Amino acid sequence: MMRLLLVLLANAVLATGMAAAQPGKRPEGKARQMSQEERQRMREDLRDAYRSRSERPQKMRQLSPEERGKLRRDIEDANKNLKR
């Protein structure tokens, strides 16, 4: 039993040391830079996202007490049906 524990501990130490010795793989130089086309595409995507933001309603309208009660009952009924 003690011998098995010692072997497992030795394997864990060796595996940890080997994993720590692995060099990190990072692209170097121009390989990690975006191309001009990629930058332009990203700018256009962001511009489109900001444009569509103005089309969304700013705030949800306040529900009346009757609407809130109906919504609550509908959700409770849906939850009961899910449990079955």
Q: What is the mean pLDDT of residues 31-56?
A: 79
pLDDT > 60? residue 29: no
pTM beyond 0.75: no
Give me the percent of the chain exceeding a pLDDT of 90. Answer: 19
Alpha-carbon distance 43 to 74, whole Å?
43
Hey, what are 24's tokens? Answer: 């990190």
What does the pLDDT read at residue 74? 94
pLDDT > 70? residue 84: no
Alpha-carbon distance 38 to 40, whole Å?
5
- Residue that has been written with the tokens 């975006």 in this structure: 34
